[in-house]
Amino acid sequence: MQPIRVLIVDDSAFMRHALGRLLSEADGLEVVGFAGNGELGLEAARALRPDVITLDVEMPVLDGLTMLRRLMTETPTRVIMLSSLTTEGAAITLDALDSGAIDFVAKPGGSLSIDIGRVGAELVAKIRAAAAMSEASFLGHRQRALARRPQAPPTPPPAGMPRTRPAVAAQRLVVVASSTGGPSALHALVGGLPGRLGAGVVIVQHMPAGFTASLAARLAAAGQLPAAEARAGDVLAEDEIVLAPGDHHLISSTAGRVQLVQLPPVNGVRPAADVTLLSVAPAWRERLLCVVLTGMGADGREGARAVKAHGGTVLAQDAATSTVYGMPAAVAEAGLADRILPLERIAEAIVAWAAAGRHPQVPFASHGRLVHH
């Protein structure tokens, strides 16, 4: 197999050297060039046609976000962002994901970290996943990014902000699992849900601490349902979305109250969807819907197995619309998906499932490909 050709764009000579050495030592990767700012990065992308670009955010002459937006129009290339673990870094990184980046890796100690090797395995895995995307998947990902208009990022609400309406404990629950490509997919999904869904929603997106509050604010702005980062003691409420906070697993008591725990990572991640699903499946049973979206790995598969064992329903995103067909593929190949759907039809399927629960005489519409066991 041909090696994955990588272009490194970073204004720090130290970081270019460190990344170059790290990636050159990984099997199947070849560093084909370096650039110290966005303008030089665009020139190198045109000349070298790399398979994947690692892109810093803060650079002189032309910053990473502006370069990315031009790249998606001029020389479409798969991009992994390198971001700082700060509130501003989180907002810019989410802008980058909205603008077409496949995924990101947070530098452990800032832009001049000497500890970049600590995230080396994660970076290599994400580069390989980006390179493995089919052309059709990348085209769809890019088109969704180009269709979104850049806007000022919303500000996360302060903790404890009062609700616009009283919280009502949910009688039905939707748990959404996502990873690579997830923020873009979640934006589309949440934008398709009505303000009166008739179910509570929990989202488990693989992200580090500090990023999920910004993502929640964006999802609240994208749709009609209020969305917030979950806090310990929150009630899983009808017609509200909560996100598992980065670096914490989200579980639920039998009374439907959120508990946040820092048990070891599961499937290499924290939060992990499997932890949440295994927690809620015995209590919610047939009132539980599991939705597994795009992402690397197999997180969600064992949780989906528990959901099915307790009488719940499982939906999985299809390969054609997944940025990375890993997590949904694991569920589908295990025979656990009741329906396999393109991204643009998942919201309507969630609405149909919620309606069927409120009105048993209304069948859960058979949208998408049924999986027979």
What are the DSSP calls for 239-295, one per residue? T-EEEPPTT-EEEE-TTSBEEEE-PPPBTTBSS-HHHHHHHHHHHHGGGEEEEE-SB
Q: How many domains does the chain have?
A: 2
127 and 87 fall within a common domain:
yes
268 and 345 fall within a common domain:
yes
pLDDT of residue 19: 92
Is 275 a domain residue?
A: yes
pLDDT of residue 77: 97
203 and 325 fall within a common domain:
yes
φ, ψ (nearest 5 deg) of residue 203? -115, 130
pLDDT of residue 148: 73
Active-site residue, from 51, 98, 234, 299: 299
Confidence of residue 373 (pLDDT cuts 50, 70, 90): very low
Contact residues for 86 (Cβ-Cβ < 8 A; gap 6+): 210
pLDDT for residue 337 is more than 80: yes
Question: Of 113, 147, 181, which marks where a domain is finished?
Answer: 147
d(CA 211, CA 366): 36
pLDDT of residue 108: 66
Is 299 a domain residue?
A: yes
d(CA 282, CA 305): 12
Q: Look up the pTM and report it.
A: 0.88
- Domain, as residue range, for 93: 4-147
d(CA 306, CA 300): 10
Is 165 a domain residue?
A: no
Contact residues for 186 (Cβ-Cβ < 8 A; gap 6+): 176, 178, 203, 205, 215, 219, 293
Active-site residue, from 187, 206, 248, 249: 206
Is 286 a domain residue?
A: yes
212 and 81 fall within a common domain:
no
31 and 177 fall within a common domain:
no
Residue pLDDT, tens place only, 8-18 = 999 989 889 98
Calculate what percentage of the chain has a pLDDT beyond 70: 87
CATH number of 352's domain? 3.40.50.180
List of E strands, the chain: 4-9, 29-35, 52-56, 78-84, 103-107, 173-178, 200-205, 227-229, 241-243, 249-252, 258-261, 288-292, 313-317, 339-341, 369-370
Is 241 a domain residue?
A: yes
255 and 327 fall within a common domain:
yes
Question: Of 147, 164, 192, which marks where a domain is finished?
Answer: 147
Q: Among all chains, which residue has been given the structure tokens 């690692």?
A: 54
More confident residue, 248 or 137: 248
208 and 355 fall within a common domain:
yes
Q: Among 162-176, 218-232, 355-369, which range has the highest average pLDDT?
A: 218-232
62 and 187 fall within a common domain:
no
189 and 110 fall within a common domain:
no
Q: Among all chains, which residue has been given the structure tokens 């991204």?
A: 343
The answer to whether residues 249 and 270 touch, using CB atoms and an 8 Å cutoff, is yes
DSSP code at position 89: H
Least confident of 97-111, 182-196, 203-217, 272-286: 97-111
Q: Residue 230's closest CA among 215, 218, 241?
A: 241
Is 156 a domain residue?
A: no
pLDDT of residue 366: 44
218 and 89 fall within a common domain:
no
Distances (CA, A) of 241 to 18, 191, 204, 294: 40, 12, 11, 19
pLDDT of residue 86: 63
183 and 297 fall within a common domain:
yes
Residue pLDDT, tens place only, 35-57 = 999 999 999 999 999 999 999 98
Least confident of 142-146, 148-152, 204-208, 330-334: 148-152
Least confident of 74-88, 227-241, 276-290, 296-310: 74-88
Question: Other CB atoms closer than 10 Å to residue 21's CB: what's the count?
Answer: 13
Active-site residue, from 99, 137, 179, 252: 179
Confidence of residue 145 (pLDDT cuts 50, 70, 90): confident
119 and 43 fall within a common domain:
yes
Is 267 a domain residue?
A: yes
CATH number of 71's domain? 3.40.50.2300
Is 302 a domain residue?
A: yes
Confidence of residue 368 (pLDDT cuts 50, 70, 90): very low
Question: Of 147, 163, 185, which marks where a domain is finished?
Answer: 147
The answer to whether residues 79 and 100 touch, using CB atoms and an 8 Å cutoff, is yes
206 as an active site residue: the answer is: yes
Q: Which helix (H) or strand (E) holds 38?
A: helix 38-48
